[in-house]
Amino acid sequence: MPKLQTLDATASQAQLLQVLDRDGACIIADLLPQPLRDQIVEEVMPYVAQTRFGGDDFSGRKTRRTGALVARSPACRDLITQPIILDAARAFLAPFTEKIILHLTQTIFIGPGEGAQPLHRDRLAWGNHLPRSIEPQFNTIWALTDFTAENGATRVVPGSHRWQDGQKATADDQCQAEMRQGSVLVYSGSVIHSGGENRSQEIRMGLNLTYCLGWLRQEENQFLSCPPYIARHLPQALQELLGYTMGNYALGYYSDPDPGLEINAGVLPPERALGATPAAGNTLTN
């Protein structure tokens, strides 16, 4: 039976990337301070309580998935820009992109009696259109409660990020990401995984924050989940992760829909929508 490696919070970026390259996933223990964890739970629970259960076996008929967390939870914003994770995400995806963006923010609230989610790769959000030589994602699931074998700790197939499409995982290939609250599961978009079966009488609650290549469409539409009137008040680094910046030269500009506002307003950087000054290299001129 395989087992995920657990690193401590002082592990180097090189160690983290080495384990991800080998296994496709690992755990970092006790990276989320208890006060921040408590604040996140307090901020998101009113929205979780209003979220409907999933309508199929994949989303989970006894699972609530709640998004738009940048707009809804100031504490989640701090976690999205957590330096160890964000720096590792940038380094991990650097071979394939100039910039990274925030792909998804979601609490996953797995209730008692929920079955195991079908095994899958998150990269299938883009279908099979990306070559396997390109890794599109760097993903995290933060444990807001303890993750145990009984309450649905995430199932992972270590090493499966190197498998060919169509190779099926057996029970002997899988393990579960058992970890204390405050720890985080880090995994690539290519590793096979899923939510586990909750055989307990407890709730299993995780926080799924994922990052992707800056030239891909995000799973969660951040411009609708966190529109300009909210985003303009956020730190610049978070604005850029949401996508309010040029992804590359000529990638992401917009045209002002009201031609009366400005002369020659057809080529504007996204920062313009927030009233912010574009970062160096983020302007496009004719």
Asked whether residue 279 carries a pLDDT value surpassing 80, the answer given is no
Helix (H) or strand (E) holding 69: helix 69-72
Q: Is the pLDDT of residue 284 over 80?
A: no
Give Dmax over CA atoms of the chain in angstroms: 66
In order of 31, 117, 180, 203, 256, the CA distances from 127 in angstroms are 33, 19, 33, 31, 32
Distances (CA, A) of 276 to 47, 232, 244, 271: 30, 8, 10, 5
Supply the pLDDT for residue 261.
59
* 115/104 Cα distance (integer angstroms): 23
The alpha-helical segments, DSSP class H, found in 94-235 are: 222-225, 228-231
pLDDT for the residue numbered 136: 98
Joined together, the tokens standing for residue 143 give: 């444990």
pLDDT value, residue 255: 84
* Proportion of the chain above pLDDT 70, given as a percent: 94
Q: Model confidence over 25-47: pLDDT tens digits?
A: 999 999 999 999 999 999 999 99
Q: Which residues on adjacent β-strands are paired with residue 25?
A: 187
Question: Class of 6-222 per CATH?
Answer: mainly beta
Predicted pLDDT at 278? 79
**pLDDT for position 256:** 79
Q: Is the pLDDT of residue 245 over 70?
A: yes
Output the pLDDT for position 286: 44
Give the model's confidence band at 260: pLDDT under 50 very low, under 70 low, under 90 confident, else very high: low
Residue 160 and residue 168 in contact, taking contact as beta carbons nearer than 8 Å: no
113: left (phi over 0), alpha (psi -120 to 50) or beta: left
Using a 10 angstrom Cβ sphere, with 0-12 exposed, 13-18 middle and 19 or more buried, the burial of residue 231 is: buried
Please report the beta strands in 59-143, taking only residues with DSSP state E, as ranges in sequence order: 63-66, 100-110, 137-143
Burial degree of 259 (CB within 10 A; 0-12, 13-18, 19+): exposed
Give the whole-number percent of the chain exceeding pLDDT 90.
87
C-alpha to C-alpha distance for 138 and 85, rounded to whole angstroms: 9
What are the structure tokens assigned to 92, written together?
């991990």
Q: Is 43 exposed, middle or buried (0-12, 13-18, 19+ CB in 10 A)?
A: middle
For the segment 239-249, the average pLDDT, to the nearest whole number, is 94
* Residue 276: band (very low, low, confident or very high) from pLDDT cuts 50, 70, 90: confident
Mean pLDDT over 219-238 rounds to: 97
Flag whether pLDDT at 264 surpasses 90: no
Q: How many CA atoms does the CB half-sphere of 200 hold within 13 Å?
A: 15
Per-residue pLDDT tens for 129-188?
Answer: 999 999 999 999 999 999 999 999 999 999 999 999 889 999 999 999 999 999 999 999
User: Do the beta carbons of residue 123 and residue 189 sit within 8 Å?
Assistant: yes
What are the sequence ranges of the domains in the chain? Answer: 6-222, 250-286
Contact at 8 Å (CB) between 214 and 173? no
Residue 262's pLDDT is what?
Answer: 56
Contact (Cβ atoms closer than 8 angstroms) between residue 118 and residue 57: yes
User: What whole-number distance in Å separates Cα of residue 219 and Cα of residue 216?
Assistant: 9
* Residue 228, Cβ density class (10 Å: 0-12 exposed, 13-18 middle, ≥19 buried): middle
